[in-house]
């Protein structure tokens, strides 16, 4: 396969040749990047002066969950509690008898009436259907009495380690709000979509993300999903480059099999071991050095002692499996950095470890990621959606150190951007806008959050392309439009480097090209 793409406004994200007009593709690789050159042996496409950038790579997704949840109860962005209940009731009315009602993505911080989710709200809708609705951050779940009955939670149930069963202070009965590890029995009892349903969802999800300019994803999912990806890729049905993270409870299986970070091919690779250090901001379970504002004594929830976390990271690193550790609060981020530093001293290895989220970093820790070679895998859309929570729960003083993109770059930290979909929108242009404007939506009246931490469009695009490729150890094969790298690129309807930040949200993808093949849209053939 020999192709030529000419007359483009091409941003390569390669410092040695920042701009180009033409791309040549041989098989699935770039064989030429530069000015227009006349040749006769290639299929030729005219880019018509449209802007081209490397295919974007979302560095943090739960892709199958995203794909499946498109058909579940959707409560995201609802601010009126009556509208929340109406959406649930409408979904239940269309459900089969006794069918599980799942989905959610509710955010009680948005509800105007400051309502606390309770089983009685859901019991009024149905006592027959088990209802289990995850919060937006995935760290809390709202269930009805039927679900509590199925999982066996009563006044006598002990609080699980690392979790919380919210209870009535007078009776001790579960209220229907579960947090962290207390959620796990719900997952154990929820029917799993069958292989056919998951396959259809993944393939449709791939089409959705192609239309948004994504050519690759980093996914944290189950071994069953990994096998599904293998099957769909082998059948040449799935055209996405996937980097599959291993949940920590499967780490020993990976070690016994001799798997190492980076094993795989150009479509599917073994990634990091995913470990949780703390909870989330919205549920006030992110682990903090000082208590939450208006919540004396609450330092959040730590998933591991310092010794336990070090042992996990050290065991993984000893087997040449890098780690990606979820850390949101400043105490959690310090704990992770301490553990990685200790591991590097013991193992004498420089694996490319990552911190997922890195939302709040104490000033004393902000330079440590660069010094330790730790990638900051961050999600600007979280910043945009959580500004109110950041100020409310962390206060003005600490909030100055939240999502410190510019500071981290100044220290030399490698940034990789993603979405954490389905928790936030998977649209990368929303993420770019949030990083550049430090705002969520196109609202001129919205105050910019810590404007000193704004970054340029170039830096934001770099984090979604070359940065994500670096985070997975694939910077030699993708992330920029460079000769020898994979021919993954997207064509846009506007030059996002030359427009006002708010116009970035309106950007449309004209075409998405993966390995030289147009997988979305159309280009004019000459």
More confident residue, 498 or 385: 498
pLDDT for res 57: 99
Per the listing, tokens 């729960």 go with: 393
Q: What single DSSP character describes residue 220? A: E
Gyration radius from the chain CA atoms: 23
Residue 153 has pLDDT above 90, yes or no: yes
Are the CB atoms for 13 and 462 separated by under 8 Å? Answer: yes
Alpha-carbon distance 277 to 300, whole Å?
Answer: 11
Beta bridge partners of 86: none
Alpha helices in 172-328 (DSSP H): 184-189, 195-210, 223-234, 251-257, 306-318
Task: Give Cα separations from 224 to 98, 229, 333 (angstroms).
Answer: 26, 9, 30
Distance from C-alpha of 506 to C-alpha of 416, rounded to nearest angstrom? 23
- The Cα-based distances of 456 to 53, 409, 435 in angstroms read 15, 11, 8
332 pLDDT tier (thresholds 50, 70, 90): very high
| Phi, psi angles (nearest 5°) of residue 70 | -60, -20
pLDDT of residue 449: 92
| Dist. CA 437–CA 384, nearest whole Å | 9
Say how many C-beta atoms besides its own lie within 10 A of residue 161's C-beta: 9
**From the candidate CATH numbers 3.30.565.10, 2.40.30.10, 2.30.40.10, 3.90.220.20, the one assigned to the domain spanning 1-54+479-526:** 2.30.40.10
Q: What torsion, rounded to 10 degrees, do the Cα atoms 112, 116, 118, 124 define?
A: -20
Q: Are 355 and 336 in contact (CB under 8 A)?
A: yes
- Asked if 237 and 203 touch (Cβ cutoff 8 Å), the reply is yes
Average pLDDT rounded to a whole number, residues 386-403: 93
Residues of the chain with CATH 3.10.310.70: 73-189
- Neighbour tally for 345: CB within 10 Å: 8
**Which residue has 């994803």 as its token pair?**
217
Tokens of 506: 């309106």
- The mean pLDDT of the chain is 94
Q: Which residue has the tokens 């530093």?
A: 341
Q: How many residues does the chain have?
A: 526
Cβ–Cβ under 8 Å, residues 309 and 355: no
Between β-strands 140-143 and 131-135, what pairing exists: parallel, antiparallel or unpaired?
A: antiparallel
Q: Answer yes or no: is pLDDT of 442 > 70.
A: no
Flag whether pLDDT at 443 surpasses 70: no
CATH 2.30.40.10 in the chain, residue ranges? 1-54+479-526
**Rounded CA gap, 39 and 26, in Å?**
14
CATH architecture of 73-189: Roll (3.10)
SS3 for 429-452, per residue?
A: HHHHHHHHHCCCCCCCCCCCCCHH
Distance, CA of 448 to CA of 518 (rounded, Å): 38
Do β-strands 375-378 and 354-357 pair in parallel, antiparallel, or remain unpaired?
Answer: parallel
Give the pair of three-digit tokens for residue 392: 């409310």
Residue 91's φ and ψ, nearest 5 degrees, are -70, -40
Confidence at 523, pLDDT banded by 50, 70, 90: very high
Q: How far is CA 57 from CA 31, 227, 229, 356, in A?
A: 22, 21, 17, 15
Q: Is-contact 77 425, C-beta < 8 A?
A: no
Residue 30 tokens read as 């770039």
Q: In the predicted model, is pLDDT for residue 70 greater than 90?
A: no
- For the stretch 262-308, pLDDT in tens is 999 999 999 999 999 999 998 899 999 999 998 899 999 999 999 99
- 117: DSSP letter: P
Tokens 């989905």 identify what position? 103
Q: What is the structure's pLDDT at 132?
A: 97
Cis peptide before 422 (omega within 30 of 0): yes
Rounded Cα distance, 433 and 194, in Å: 37
Mean pLDDT value of segment 365-388: 95
For residue 162, pLDDT over 80 is answered with: yes
Instruction: For residues 405 and 458, give the distance between their C-alpha atoms in angstroms, rounded to a whole number.
Output: 13
The tokens describing 314, both together, are: 């050290």
- The SS3 assignment for 336 reads helix
**What mean pLDDT is predicted for residues 461-481?**
98
| Chain segment 193-213, per-residue pLDDT in tens | 888 888 989 999 999 999 999
Over residues 26-69, the pLDDT tens digits come to: 999 999 999 998 887 899 999 999 999 999 999 999 999 999 98
């Amino acid at each position: 396969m020999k192709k030529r793409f000419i007359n483009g406004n091409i941003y390569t994200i390669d410092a040695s040749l920042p701009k180009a007009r033409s791309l040549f593709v041989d098989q699935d690789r770039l064989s030429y990047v530069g000015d227009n050159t006349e040749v006769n042996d290639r299929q030729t496409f005219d880019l018509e002066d449209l802007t081209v950038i490397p295919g974007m790579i979302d560095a943090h997704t739960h892709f199958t969950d995203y794909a499946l949840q498109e058909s579940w109860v959707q409560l995201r962005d609802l601010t009126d509690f009556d509208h929340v209940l109406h959406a649930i009731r409408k979904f239940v009315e269309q459900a089969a008898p006794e069918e599980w009602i799942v989905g959610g993505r509710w955010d009680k911080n948005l509800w105007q009436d400051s309502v606390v989710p309770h089983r009685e709200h859901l019991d009024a809708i149905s006592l027959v259907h088990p209802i289990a609705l995850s919060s937006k951050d995935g760290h809390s779940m709202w269930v009805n009495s039927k679900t509590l009955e199925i999982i066996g939670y009563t006044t006598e149930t002990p609080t699980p380690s690392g979790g919380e069963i919210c209870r009535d202070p007078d009776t001790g009965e579960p209220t229907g709000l579960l947090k962290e590890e207390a959620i796990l029995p719900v997952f154990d009892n929820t029917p799993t979509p069958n292989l056919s349903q998951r396959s259809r969802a993944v393939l449709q999800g791939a089409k959705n993300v192609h239309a948004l300019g994504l050519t690759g994803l980093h996914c944290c999912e189950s071994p069953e999903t990994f096998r599904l990806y293998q099957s769909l890729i082998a059948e040449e049905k799935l055209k996405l480059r996937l980097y599959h993270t291993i949940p920590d409870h499967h780490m020993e299986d990976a070690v016994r099999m001799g798997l190492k970070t980076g094993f795989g091919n150009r479509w599917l690779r073994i990634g990091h071991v995913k470990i949780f250090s703390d909870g989330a901001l919205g549920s006030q379970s992110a682990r903090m050095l000082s208590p939450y504002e208006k919540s004396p004594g609450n330092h959040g929830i730590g998933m591991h002692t310092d010794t336990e976390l070090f042992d996990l990271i050290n065991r993984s690193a000893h087997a040449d499996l890098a780690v990606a550790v979820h850390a949101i609060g400043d105490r959690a981020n310090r704990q992770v950095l301490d553990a990685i530093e200790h591991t590097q001293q013991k193992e004498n290895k420089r694996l490319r470890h990552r911190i997922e989220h890195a939302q709040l970093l104490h000033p004393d820790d902000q330079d440590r990621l660069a010094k330790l070679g730790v990638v900051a895998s961050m999600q600007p859309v979280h910043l945009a959606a959580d500004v109110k929570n950041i100020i409310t729960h962390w206060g003005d003083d600490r909030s100055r150190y939240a999502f410190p993109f510019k500071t981290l770059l100044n220290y030399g930290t490698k940034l990789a951007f993603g979405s954490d979909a389905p928790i936030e929108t998977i649209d990368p242009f929303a993420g770019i806008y949030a990083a550049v404007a430090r705002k969520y939506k196109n609202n001129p009246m919205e105050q910019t959050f810590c404007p000193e931490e704004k970054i340029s469009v170039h830096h934001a695009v770099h984090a979604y392309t070359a940065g994500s490729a670096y985070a997975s150890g694939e910077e030699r094969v993708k992330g920029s439009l460079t000769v020898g790298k994979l021919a993954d690129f997207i064509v846009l309807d506007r030059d996002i480097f030359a427009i006002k930040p708010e116009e970035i949200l309106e950007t449309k993808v004209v075409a998405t090209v993966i390995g030289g093949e147009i997988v979305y849209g159309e280009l004019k053939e000459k």
